[in-house]
């Protein structure tokens, strides 16, 4: 069997090539949206909110894992004007 290639995904706040992306970073899938913003109160923490539900504060590792999990579930990174951005790079 042929080996499958895995897509390399990085969080937008980690990638210096995506510095043009500003907060909040929004992942969308259909009508569902999940936003990620840096916490102003806690250094290194992120605030995550799905649609208009309550906000959740996570450290940077938890936020990164949540972001990657959502991307694996089919969520796509969106610009501020709700256009999709290609955030997945194929590795060789």
pLDDT digits (tens, 9 = 90+) for 16-59: 665 556 778 999 999 999 999 999 888 889 999 999 899 999 99
The total number of structural domains that make up the chain: 1
Is 7 within the bounds of a domain? no
Query: What's residue 46's pLDDT?
Result: 94
Is 69 within the bounds of a domain? yes
On the question of pLDDT at 7 being above 90, the answer is: no
Instruction: Give CA separation, 41 vs 30, 55, 70, in Å.
Output: 31, 14, 25
- For residue 29, the cross-strand partners are 32
On the question of pLDDT at 66 being above 50, the answer is: yes
Which is nearest to 63 in space by CA: 29, 3, 12? 12
Element (H, E) at 77: strand 76-78
Is 2 within the bounds of a domain? no
Query: What's residue 34's pLDDT?
Result: 95
Query: What's residue 88's pLDDT?
Result: 43
Is 37 within the bounds of a domain? yes
Is 16 within the bounds of a domain? no
Parent domain of 45: 23-83
On the question of pLDDT at 63 being above 90, the answer is: yes
Is 88 within the bounds of a domain? no
The DSSP symbol for 16 reads G
Is 4 within the bounds of a domain? no
Is 43 within the bounds of a domain? yes
């Amino acid at each position: 069997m042929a080996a499958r290639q895995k897509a390399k995904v990085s969080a937008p706040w980690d990638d210096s090539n995506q510095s043009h992306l500003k907060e909040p970073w929004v992942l969308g899938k259909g009508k569902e949206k999940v936003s990620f913003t840096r916490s102003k109160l806690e250094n290194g923490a992120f605030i995550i909110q799905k649609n208009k539900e309550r906000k959740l504060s996570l450290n940077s590792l938890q936020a990164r894992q949540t972001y990657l999990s959502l991307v694996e579930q089919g969520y796509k990174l969106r610009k501020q004007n709700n256009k999709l951005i290609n955030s997945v790079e194929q590795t060789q």
